[in-house]
């Protein structure tokens, strides 16, 4: 059975015109300032939301950078200068279009995951180069701690975080997350998150791939120290709605924990780019098979039709559907400038309630691929 995850390390380590009456545009969407000097574009507060109960505000949509530097799952197993320039373009165009929230992890692109270069290293380099050109540029960075079986105790969290900060060339990050639950328990890891907040190394803390019970336990443990659990990052899309079925989404809403949705366009399956005749390459082709893509076509056709009413792409419709669920921040992965610009166009407007319900109904007829197994433990 195929397993779709947002991890890039060896699997043996892992148990028409737009209708004005229907579209609400954000007129204050960020624009780059045209001038002789390099000026950082201002990010409108209307495009931001608070992350859970923390004081941190992030854009309503972020950018996932798992693919940057990776050659074990993405990039057809090859990382080169062309892909490096494309990733840099994705970073710059995201900022130019008002998206300043980037999510990475210590394992992305790392030697441990058989990658070419650390995603954190690349993101840190891009931030530095951007600030050299635009000193006022602001970037919100989220990264993650790998709960590997041999890492024990709260000290391992702080040690790993400091290594991440060195790669990112930063003194602190905005959000630090536990990438997945620990094999031997999570208490020490959660204590490490609390220590990171108290030491000023992070502004907010979160978890990832946590079940409802683990989420509640983490929330309560941090609450005792007066620290809010800001987020739970999980696999969530129109065609993968496990967070709803397992109670994770409802628990996030109840506790005031933001749900960060990774794989929000199902690793490209919801973009309309792939068909039964043209499935994705590499490992994704074993997950999103010709058979699966055949069953997906009716939904994709309707997504395309709805998008045409708004002058929006299927990708933008699929992402907007997630935002419409409330308390959800999608983080699609951008490999180039074109994708980054398209993602930015997914916010600042809204599907109707009827369209949201119709797409959910159509998607319910499709059996989803399997997500990260610990979601159900």
Please say if 145 is a catalytic residue: no
- Check residue 198 and give its pLDDT: 98
Which residues span the domain enclosing 342? 49-268+322-350
Q: Are 109 and 78 in contact (CB under 8 A)?
A: no
pLDDT beyond 80 at 31: no
| Statement: residue 120 has pLDDT above 90 | yes
pLDDT band of residue 283 (cuts 50, 70, 90) is: confident
Find tokens 């309630």 and name the residue: 353
Q: Do the domain assignments include residue 303?
A: no
Q: What is the predicted pLDDT for the residue at 351?
A: 98
> Residue 6 above 90 pLDDT?
no
Give the pLDDT of residue 329. Answer: 98
Q: Does 310 map to a domain?
A: no
Is pLDDT at 4 greater than 50 in this prediction? no
pLDDT at 125 over 90: yes
**Which of 201, 113, 117 has the alpha carbon at shortest distance from 157?**
201
Alpha helices in the chain (DSSP H): 81-96, 119-133, 154-168, 187-198, 212-223, 242-245, 248-255, 284-287, 290-310, 314-323, 337-344, 353-363
In a domain, 238, yes or no: yes
Rounded CA Rg of the chain: 20
pLDDT at 20: 36
Confidence bin at 113 (pLDDT 50/70/90): low
Handedness of CA 216, 218, 220, 222 (dihedral sign): negative
> Which is the catalytic residue, given 108, 176, 262, 274?
108
Distance CA 308, CA 234 (A): 29
Q: State residue 371's pLDDT score.
A: 63
Q: For residues 170-181, give the mean pLDDT.
A: 97
User: Around Cβ 154, how many Cβ atoms within 10 Å?
Assistant: 17
Give the CATH number for residue 246: 3.20.20.100
% of the chain surpassing 70 pLDDT: 82
DSSP string, 281-312: STTHHHHS-HHHHHHHHHHHHHHHHHHHHHT-
Residue 376 covered by a domain? no
Nearest to residue 211, comparing CAs of 238, 180, 189?
180
Whether 90 contacts 129, CB under 8 Å? no
Question: Is pTM beyond 0.85 here?
Answer: yes
Lowest mean pLDDT of 72-81, 118-127, 338-347, name the range.
72-81
d(CA 158, CA 273): 41
Q: 10 versus 210: which is more confidently predicted? A: 210
Q: Which residue has the higher pLDDT, 7 or 81?
A: 81
Residue 116 has a pLDDT of 65
Residues in the chain, how many? 377
Give the separation between CA 289 and CA 38, rounded to whole angstroms.
46
DSSP designation for 130: H
For residue 335, tell me if it sits in a domain. Answer: yes
Please check the confidence at residue 17 and state whether its pLDDT lies above 80.
Answer: no
Distance, first Cα to last Cα, the chain = 18
**Does the residue 231 lie in any domain?**
yes
Mean pLDDT in residue range 4-8: 42
Q: For residue 18, is pLDDT > 50?
A: no
Predicted pLDDT at 172? 98
Distance of CA 345 to the CA centre of its chain: 16
What confidence tier does 68 reach under pLDDT thresholds 50, 70, 90?
confident
Give dist(CA 107, CA 11) in Å, integer: 13
pLDDT surpassing 70 at residue 294? yes
Q: What is the rounded average pLDDT of the residues 50-55?
A: 98
Residue-by-residue DSSP string for 175-195: EEEESS--TT-SHHHHHHHHH
How many structural domains does the chain have? 1
Q: Residue 42: pLDDT above 60?
A: no
Tokens 């060339």 belong to 169
371 occurs within a structural domain: no
Q: What is the pLDDT of residue 202?
A: 98
Of all residues in the chain, the percent with pLDDT exceeding 90 is 72
Asked if residue 334 has pLDDT above 60, the reply is: yes
Burial class (CB in 10 A: 0-12, 13-18, 19+), 369: buried
Kindly report the average pLDDT of the chain as a whole number. 87
Contacts of 276 (CB under 8 A, 6+ apart): 290, 291, 293, 294, 297
Report the C-alpha dihedral over residues 61, 18, 365, 8, rounded to 10 degrees: -30
Domain assignment present for residue 247? The answer is yes
């Amino acid at each position: 059975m195929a397993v779709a995850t947002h991890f890039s390390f060896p699997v043996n380590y892992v148990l028409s015109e737009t209708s004005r009456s229907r579209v609400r545009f954000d007129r204050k969407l960020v624009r780059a300032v045209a001038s002789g000097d390099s000026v950082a574009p201002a990010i409108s507060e209307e495009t931001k939301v608070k992350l859970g109960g923390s004081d941190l505000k992030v854009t309503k949509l972020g950018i996932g950078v798992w693919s940057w530097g990776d050659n074990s799952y993405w990039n057809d197993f090859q990382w080169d200068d062309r892909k490096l320039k494309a990733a840099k373009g994705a970073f710059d165009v995201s900022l130019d279009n008002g998206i300043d929230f980037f999510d990475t992890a210590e394992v992305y692109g790392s030697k441990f995951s058989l990658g070419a270069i650390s995603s954190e290293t690349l993101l840190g380099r891009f931030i530095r180069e951007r600030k050299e050109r635009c000193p006022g540029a602001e970037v919100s960075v989220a990264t993650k701690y790998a709960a590997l079986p041999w890492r024990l105790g709260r000290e391992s969290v702080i040690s790993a975080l400091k290594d991440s900060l060195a790669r990112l060339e930063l003194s602190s990050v905005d959000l630090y997350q536990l990438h997945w639950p620990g094999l031997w328990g999570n208490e020490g890891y959660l204590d490490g998150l609390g220590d990171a907040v108290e030491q000023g190394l992070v502004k907010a803390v979160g978890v990832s791939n946590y079940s409802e019970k683990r989420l509640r336990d983490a929330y309560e443990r941090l609450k005792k120290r007066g620290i809010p659990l800001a987020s739970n990052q999980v696999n969530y899309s129109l065609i993968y709605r496990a967070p709803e079925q397992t109670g994770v989404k409802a628990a996030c809403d109840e506790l005031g924990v933001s749900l960060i949705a990774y794989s929000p366009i199902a690793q490209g399956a919801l973009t309309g780019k792939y068909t039964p005749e043209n499935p994705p390459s590499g490992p994704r082709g074993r997950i999103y098979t010709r058979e699966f893509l055949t069953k997906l076509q009716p939904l994709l056709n309707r997504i395309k039709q709805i998008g045409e009413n708004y002058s929006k792409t299927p990708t933008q419709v699929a992402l907007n559907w997630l935002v419409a669920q409330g308390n959800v921040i999608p983080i699609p992965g951008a490999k180039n400038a074109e994708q980054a610009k398209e993602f930015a166009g997914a916010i600042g407007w809204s599907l109707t309630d009827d369209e949201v319900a119709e797409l959910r109904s159509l998607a319910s007829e499709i059996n989803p691929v399997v997500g990260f197994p610990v979601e159900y433990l």
